[in-house]
Amino acid sequence: MFNKANLSNTANAANQDQLVWKMLFDRQTALLHRRAVPAFSQGLARLGLRREAIPDIGQLSATVREHTGWQLAPVGRPFEPAAFFELLAERKFPIVTRIRPMHRFDFSPEPDLFHDLFGHVPMLLDEGLADFLHALALAYRAQPANSPAREQLWALYFFTAEFGLVQHEGQPRLYGAGLLSSAGEIHHCVNEYTPRPAFDLATVLHTPVTGTRYQNQYFMLPAWEQLTDCVEELAGMLAVVRA
């Protein structure tokens, strides 16, 4: 039986989602002016992301595949690290299809549609970052299920692809999706009292991960090239551990 009430509720929910997207898009693009790496704004432009409408995941996936060979995989909820890295090993990036509610506007403790589409996808058009994620996922897959190395690889992902900074023309620039998609996280990160130590692979691998609050510190790459350079260093460390 046709239910007008259900149809109305669905329409209202869709309108609310569009409003959240629009407000988040406006706020983040304003905050990220001269704060994000150039690759982010370039990716945003290539994808054609705009404030007026939540983008179509299938169309975005086709664009990403054309540039870096990756695809987007819509999912209903965030994955645990093992399932997440398995997708990344196949050059597929999971996109959570729900968007945060209004009361989580400034900070979402879990990945949502805005975090994934606005924060991650533009950076997937950068070949260096895309290759880094793939190498990281293959390294994770190669470790035993109960290996401490898996926790360390998750920490490396977390403090780069989620909350990473890099020096660009003498200034810190944001490239981690958790920063790019959260006003609250940006304000906390740029606070003069928040530690932003230089990126050191051994330190990062042994730094505890938390996703339920703002980070205690953010690691800063001295140059974008070090992101790919650390893959070789990581391979050497894991070889020593296995030996």
Q: Any idea which residues carry the catalytic annotation?
A: 115, 120, 162, 181
HEC string for 176-189? CHHHHCCHHHHHHH
Amino acid identity, position 129: L
**What angle, rounded to 10 degrees, do the helices at 148-157 and 81-89 form?**
70
E strand intervals along the chain: 71-75, 92-96, 165-168, 171-174, 220-221
Give SS3 for 110.
Answer: coil
**What angle, rounded to 10 degrees, do the helices at 127-142 and 148-157 form?**
170
Cα separation values, 243 from 4, 55, 97, 204, 237, Å: 65, 47, 42, 22, 10
Cα 39-43-47 angle, rounded to 5 deg: 180
Asked whether the beta carbons of 189 and 218 are under 8 A apart, the reply is yes
What is the number of helices (H) and of strands (E) in the chain? 12, 5
Give SS3 for 80.
Answer: coil
